[in-house]
Amino acid sequence: MHTLTPELLTRAQFAPFGDVIDRRDVSPLVINGGRTQRYDDLAVIDLLGQDFRPRISLFLSKPVALPLEINALERHPLGSQAFMPLHSERFLVVVAPAGGAVDLSTVRAFITDGHQGVNYRAGTWHAVHAVLDQEGEFLVIDRAGPGANCDEQQVSLTVAL
């Protein structure tokens, strides 16, 4: 069993896999007569294939605890998938680079800090949604449309502190 220790999520460390949605290191535009600070374009929405549309959904998830066994990773070759917590939930992010099959030596685990969302680039391998501490509610922006947009690969991993 391959064991991973999660790292704190940072934009730089996550760059090979997608975007961290976080305003704290971004310069805002000031709009609405000074009332609002606007932090634009925090994630790249990939939409591939045909007849696609971007889709807004909500995910309500039971929490996981560490150590966590992970039996599969999945990827969406035709679209990105963004997750933003709606109540400052921390969550676990387990990813491997897009490309061929998963190479266990390249899998990384991250823990968010409650201010962060993530956006998996199209093709990035990732574990299913894993919120920590409490039931979690997330806004999800991904691709809807025809085409085979979910591959799964069996793995044998444990994430432990």
- Name the minimum Å distance from CB 45 to a second copy: 5
Residues 26-45 touching a second copy, rule: CB under 8 A, are 28, 31-43, 45
To the nearest whole angstrom, how small is the minimum distance from the Cβ of residue 147 to a second copy? 16
Given the rule CB under 8 A, which of 6-14, 56-64, 91-99, 103-111 is the region that contacts a second copy? Answer: 56-64
β-bridge mates for residue 136, sequence order = 61
Q: Residue 59 half-sphere exposure, CB side, CA atoms within 13 Å?
A: 21
CB 85 within 8 A of CB 137: yes
The verdict on 104 binding a second copy (CB under 8 A) reads: no
CB count within 10 Å of CB 16 equals 14
CA geometry: angle at 121 spanning 140 and 107, to 5°? 105
Residue 66 interacts with a second copy (CB under 8 A)?
Answer: no
The DSSP 8-state label assigned to residue 135 in this structure reads: -
Shortest Å distance, C-beta 155 to a second copy? 15
d(CA 72, CA 66): 16
Out of 11, 61, 97, 98, the residue judged to bind a second copy by CB under 8 A: 61
CA–CA–CA angle 151, 153, 159 (5° rounding):
120
Q: From 70, 40, 27, select the one nearest 160 (Cα to Cα).
A: 70
Kindly determine how many residues on this chain lie close enough to bind a second copy according to the rule CB under 8 A: 45
**Contact flag: residue 128 with a second copy (CB under 8 A):** yes
Which of the residues 83 through 102 are near a second copy (CB under 8 A)?
Answer: 84-88
Contact assessment for residue 105 and residue 96, using Cβ atoms and an 8 Å cutoff:
no
Binds a second copy (CB under 8 A): choice among 141, 155, 157, 159 = 141
Is residue 23 at the binding interface for a second copy, with CB under 8 A as the rule?
A: yes
Please give the residue ranges that form the binding site for a second copy (CB under 8 A). Answer: 21, 23, 28, 31-43, 45, 47, 53-62, 64, 82, 84-88, 117, 119, 128-130, 137, 139-141, 144
